[in-house]
Amino acid sequence: MDQNKRFAVAMGIYAGLALLVWLTMDGSAVPVGSGQVSLRGLTFALLAFFAVRTLLHWKAERIRAEKEPHVTGTEQ
């Protein structure tokens, strides 16, 4: 599968998961340290982390592909 298509599919899946989180989770809070964090917000932060990680990996692969020479099957 083409890298751009794989990236688009991954981002679509992240968006779908974010929509499911929004629709199914409530905003209940969990005590953390001296404050509170909502479970929905924590889940969004985790999804955002993985989405940014996927974005950075995709960009790195594009840069690597531009730098390496293209090899055709006819050269020996």
Per residue in 33-66, pLDDT tens? 899 989 999 999 999 999 999 999 999 999 998 8
CA atoms within 13 A on the CB side of 11: 11
Per-residue model confidence (pLDDT) at position 68: 83
Examine the pLDDT at 19 and tell me if it is beyond 60. yes
- pLDDT band with cut points at 50, 70 and 90 for residue 75: low
Examine the pLDDT at 71 and tell me if it is beyond 80. no
pTM of the model: 0.78
In the chain, where the domains are located:
37-68
Q: What are phi and psi of 58, to 5 degrees?
A: -60, -45
Examine the pLDDT at 10 and tell me if it is beyond 70. yes
Q: Which of 70, 58, 55 is nearest to 3 (CA)?
A: 58
